[in-house]
Amino acid sequence: MSDNTDQRVRARLQLSHPGFTLQVNLDLAGTGVTALYGPSGSGKTSCLRAIAGLARSDPGFNAFIAVKGEVWQDDAQALFVPTHQRAIGYVFQDANLFTHLSVAQNLAFGLQRVAQAKRRIELDQVIALLGIAHLLQRRTDTLSGGERQRVAIARALATSPRLLLLDEPLAALDAQRKAEILPYLEKLHSELDIPVLYVSHALDEVARLADHMVVLDAGSVTASGATHELMTRLDLPLAHGDGAGALIHATISGHETDYHLTLADFPGGRLRVAQQVHAIGQSLRLRVLARDVSLTLAPQVGTSILNILPARVVAMSDDSPGQVMVALDAGGTPLLARITKKSVDALSLVPGCAVYAQVKGVAIVG
């Protein structure tokens, strides 16, 4: 049962467990990466399992799941498509590879799950995308954690899924392995037209990968929308604390090679950041942490800070004892600045004030 005019991912679910009930009604974009974000126990993995058909919604709830026009569950019509008939790729925190087989044999197993006539993704493309050609003859028990996860993702993609589910794929990796695999996940985002649901409790991963976010807490959706908007909403916990920051979508306009800097333009102005390998004209996602933004009432001279942006105070909220989180608008792009209460009083800051946001070039994460 399908409706090819509907290109979204929809899920209406309720799963009850002792002491916990997950109830969601999701209407998500059928492109890009959507992060299911929240603390442990918030229901992220339960939601993913239900979409995969590995868990059934409560009887009588009238659950409904559809992916890009293809209905996988409709309790009103007594329709439930079993997991093995759903066109999904599922990657867990543990890669779950066949350790007695080579990488090539693991990929072949995934490829065999889909008829040749229904294959929409070429295996060679997947191998190149994830950079695993040199690993094909290796046994998977000889691979590093990051290599195993890349092979697991490749095996999932070999099935030509309509939806890719990634359940905390980096949680078991150390910082070095995580840094190795993140660029490959970014390539999936930019080069494959497959919607991805990405479960994580790590805000840095979400900021780097996700276009959209669903924030879960205690089994309920507390917010849903564009990642750059939710990250700066002062009524949400992700806009507070040491990791709070803003996401900026910019375009590379030039390089200052003598200084190892890249120029990145966005609606709020121009940023100088650590040199990037991307070419002029390419898009760039930048994360500016609130703790790295200071405010002045006039543009400063004789300063080492390279990035000084005109902005307007939108709202303010207490962040921690003696500190205030200030929400800013920089040419239509939201920013956050975490400053002391003393600085708020010294600058007489109130919503609507014109200010200048100062950001060190070395502090911007690309």
Q: What is the pLDDT of residues 38-85, one digit of tens each?
A: 998 899 999 999 999 999 999 989 999 999 999 999 999 999 999 999
Whole-number Å distance between alpha carbons of 138 and 158: 18
DSSP 2-38: B-TT--SEEEEEEEEETTEEEEEEEEE-SSSEEEEE-
Q: For the domain covering 9-230, report its CATH number.
A: 3.40.50.300
**29 alpha carbon, distance to own chain's centre:** 13
pLDDT at 102: 93
CATH 2.40.50.100: which residues of the chain?
245-360
Place of tokens 């908007």: 229
Measure the CA angle with vertex 362, ends 249 and 355; round to 5°. Answer: 65
Spans of the chain below 70 pLDDT: 1-5, 117
Whole-number Å distance between alpha carbons of 26 and 39: 19
pLDDT at 123: 87
User: pTM higher than 0.75 for the full model?
Assistant: yes
Whole-number Å distance between alpha carbons of 331 and 267: 5
Which CATH number, 2.60.40.1080, 2.40.50.140, 1.10.645.10, 2.40.50.100, labels domain 245-360?
2.40.50.100
Whole-number Å distance between alpha carbons of 54 and 364: 41
Instruction: Tell me the CA distances in angstroms from 242 to 39, 41, 290, one per residue in order.
Output: 16, 22, 8
Q: What are 58-63's contacts with CB under 8 Å, separation 24+? A: 58/14, 58/15, 58/16, 61/13, 61/14, 62/12, 63/12, 63/13, 63/14
Place of tokens 């800013």: 328
pLDDT at 3: 57
pLDDT at 211: 93
Contact between 262 and 252 under an 8 Å Cβ cutoff? The reply is yes
Whole-number Å distance between alpha carbons of 324 and 211: 27
DSSP 255-320: EEGGGTEEEEEETTEEEEEE--SSPTT-EEEEEEEGGGEEEESS--SS-S--EEEEEEEEEEEEEE
Contact between 81 and 51 under an 8 Å Cβ cutoff? The reply is no
pLDDT at 197: 96
Strand, helix or coil for residue 254: strand
CATH 3.40.50.300: which residues of the chain?
9-230
